[in-house]
Amino acid sequence: MNNFLTANNVVKQFANHLALDKVSIHVPEGSIFGLLGPNGAGKTTLIRIITQITAPDQGEILFRGKKMTMEDIYHIGYLPEERGLYKKMKVGEQALYLVQLKGMSRAEGLKKLKYWFEKFEIQSWWDKKVEELSKGMAQKVQFIVTVLHDPKLLIFDEPFTGFDPINTNLVKNEILRLRDNGATIVFSTHIMASVEELCDHIALIEKGKNILEGNIDEVRARFKPDTYELKFRGDLQNLRNALHSGIDVQEEPTRGDIGHLILKQQSRMPVREMVSAINSTVDIISFEEVIPSMNDIFIRAVEGSQSHSITSKTESHE
């Protein structure tokens, strides 16, 4: 798969703060790419460099395989975390002004805005001032303005802020539709459930450094804890006797005559052997591998990075 957007060894220093330390990301074309990290990790700084709001001290940004230029900005739609609507302007007037800044004619802008306002059921907001809108309502307007000119690259920084569950679902479906129609999307959020629902690939940044990148299924497989969930009917003690000594058995609350165990491999044992041992002593109702959530992976990766950083600093002082 071709990379639509690439950041190569990007460095950015602010006074005494190293915001980005040789950060690289590779965003495949036609994908939703999750740019993740704790607060202050450097995500927004990287986004501002990609959108040419600021420049890197070192490194480069490639857009469709070539060094990004100011002309490429017209092919980008950017929804920043800090919203920027003018509170005293009317909603329709402002939306039309913003889309004309992106190169659209007034007539084309009006036509497309009418389509989107109807789609999001906000026609009645056209003549309201922005200051009259709730945070979620203003967010809808900014989302529309971001996607209206059909950009090839969309960057959403915390796009669900201020939305109730219904409008969050509405915008999620639009993001998926935009990807399916050919857009490449960079998506920055703290909501790991949204990452699991939407993202094809991720990069995790911590304290200005890459600590994890890859296809989301491959990343989850990398963090698998070799743990299985078993529900069964039969004698628990016979099952324990049949299991390999390298398997840690954790008993979970039962319902009726159904046993419930968490089995964690302490040493490698082929799954078929484990299943065969279980099947020889009890009736299996279900047997499933436990796959870590993105929230678990996020916490483990960040904590692992912090522990490594502390160890490295300790060793350097010895």
Q: Is the per-residue pLDDT at 316 higher than 70?
A: no
The owner of tokens 């007034």 is 106
Q: What is the CATH number of domain 225-289?
A: 3.30.70.260
pLDDT at position 308:
54
190 band by pLDDT with thresholds 50, 70 and 90: confident
Per-residue CA distances from 315 to 97, 206, 207, 303, 305 (Å): 57, 21, 19, 18, 15
pLDDT at position 311:
46
Compare 277 and 28 and report the one with higher pLDDT: 28
1 band by pLDDT with thresholds 50, 70 and 90: low
Lowest mean pLDDT among 49-58, 76-85, 111-120, 216-225: 76-85
pLDDT at position 226:
86
Domain ranges of the chain: 3-221, 225-289
pLDDT at position 312:
47
For range 259-274, the mean pLDDT: 84
pLDDT at position 70:
86
d(CA 156, CA 290): 31
Which fold does the domain 3-221 belong to in CATH? Answer: Rossmann fold (3.40.50)
d(CA 236, CA 273): 18
Q: Is the per-residue pLDDT at 277 higher than 60?
A: yes
**Both tokens assigned to 121:** 């059921």
For range 109-132, the mean pLDDT: 93
Strand ranges of the sheet holding 209-215, from the earlier edge strand across to the other edge: 76-79, 153-157, 184-188, 32-36, 201-206, 209-215
